A and B are shown apart, each in its own frame.
Chain A
């Protein structure tokens, strides 16, 4: 399995480091926060200083603590929503693509409807029907966001499944007599891994956006700190207008960085899945040391001379023949 190393290109390393940092914050952020995010005992609107790294809000809360504490809810909701939406899209996409017929018609209609419905207004409607106490529940919010995020992945998976369902290996699995579920999830699903992985990353990205937006317009419980509620308070206290940049830049930057890391990881998945791109996982220095060309083009095999050749020889006669 040594060929299954994750590529070590700079893009992937940067992406993994950034994402790892935010996962670390998700787990340990609330314990690392120097103050309670609700603590209003400080002077309002302090600019960043050694005591308050990101300054304070107009209520005198420590923004650094809010950012650290807010990482957990944001990341958990994004993860839950991303995973749930991907599960849904696997289930619906593969079934629609493999089973076909009325099943396909029904499931495709459903995913088309969800694709056509604008996600955010739908989310707002669903969210406003939630009892107020469940608006603080990350799990429930995540599941609701996943409802609007699965359709795109399902369409893509359906299309790919349809192209796989008539391949010979699926045909032979059918002839062997494997069950339909087994063919769908053991024969076909592994072939969809590259699409699944990138679809998961992009669904997570979408979920962060959706959750932050919901919080930003005040539809999640304001008692749960996340980067969206920070932006909500910053906005409702006119921070952008009065130049209190230290209030809205930290949560904004965090959201942008998580998004960047997911996009970078997606490049890595591409190289990881496609073995022909795998040489691309080497760093520039490694390529030069191996004498590799900068880029290898199809239909133009590279030449790297490094072989000693044996001399060409001839003899006049050959060994005697057995009588």
Chain B
């Protein structure tokens, strides 16, 4: 699928001159290039993504040069404190970010699947409004955080399913639509008679289940979950999460899961990216991040939650509070709060460096840069797999 180029692209070239390589004295640093060929199993490939709030001198960079990617049927977790840019990133990828949000660069290629003509890839950043509308909900759907305000309070639940199906599945008859809605409700463990209720007649957990069922109405390839369980109690949260995973096993959609609850993510996600003040600080598989975090911020986040399994540990948390994005500290964004901060951290911004052969990246001068700097033991653990319970076994009880 070709995407028509927008007017702004004619003025500003798509490829801007790259900056010089960072001065790291350790190891051979190589610039990595991504192949532009086929996406294959990859369903979403976001590169060099930057988002601003505001214009001109008042602009604040909320997402700074971020890369994320996601394979088919996998779960990507995005973790970080409030205001770290998690939701901004995801809403900007889907182009749903409201004014004054502006995408300042990058690409977000979405793989619609392949047929005889080859792969159908759409760059969401360059897509026209019509293309976006065809992709939304049918290929990418979203479960919003607040189910109460996302469901129309004066429309019965059944009609809300009806509207989705009427818009996107024009061939379906009224009975078929009703049957589809009932089947969807059954999938999330609700009775068919809920279709005739108004949203305010349902509990918070039921409403959130309806949001999930709505998101799955059109069999999307990617479902974005924006803190779907944050407003719910722990028991309901667990039930919904386990249902989600049964559904994923059944239908094979990929998920992006936004939450600040890192311990939840370590059980759910295949891969986790940790964001801090708008930038990626670490990317790793869920198990590696949980057992062997490399970035001090990831470690701090992990220490802020009681572990679900294993021994009791003292909760420590992270001192201080996230920086004001309009006045970021020099050097590493995290250095004012980092217990391991060195002199270099105050002056130079660490690049997000991929550690070859390990399938993980980290942006920290402790790990790359100077071989004279020794890594503290808590940031150099090796993942053994001993402490993590198999997520599939755990969530399905």
Measuring CB to CB, which residues of chain A are less than 8 angstroms from any residue of chain B?
Answer: 276, 279, 289-292, 296-322
Contact = CB atoms under 8 A, between A and B. Distances in A.
A314 B32 contact: yes
Q: Which among A289, A290, A303, A310 has the highest number of chain B CB atoms within 10 Å?
A: A303
9 contacts: A290-B56, A297-B129, A301-B101, A305-B8, A309-B19, A309-B106, A313-B30, A321-B375, A321-B377
Interface residue SS majority, chain B: loop
A314 B29 contact: yes
Contact of A292 (B24, B55, B126, B129): B55
Given A310-B18, A316-B356, A318-B368, 16 more contacts: A299-B132, A303-B103, A303-B126, A305-B9, A307-B48, A309-B18, A309-B65, A313-B24, A313-B29, A314-B355, A315-B353, A318-B375, A321-B374, A322-B375, A322-B376, A322-B377
Interface stretch (B92-100, B190-198, B216-224, B296-304): B92-100
B251 interface: no
Contacts of A289: 56
A308 B371 CA distance: 29
Contact of B29 (A290, A291, A302, A315): A315
Interface in B16-40: 16-19, 21-22, 24, 26-34
A322 B373 CA distance: 9
Contacts of A292: 55
A310 B65 contact: yes
B18 A311 contact: yes
B126 A308 contact: no
A171 to B, nearest CB: 16
A302 B55 CA distance: 12
- The contact size tier of chain B is 35 or more
Interface of B: 6, 8-9, 12, 14, 16-19, 21-22, 24, 26-34, 48, 50, 55-56, 65, 67, 91-92, 95-106, 125-126, 129, 132, 351-357, 361, 366-371, 373-377, 380
A239 B351 CA distance: 82
Nearest to A275: B100
A308 B103 contact: no
Contacts of B376: 322
Contacts of B17: 308
Given A290-B55, A304-B8, A310-B18, A315 B95 contact: no
A308 B29 contact: no
Contacts of B103: 301-304
B96 A299 contact: yes
B96 A312 contact: no
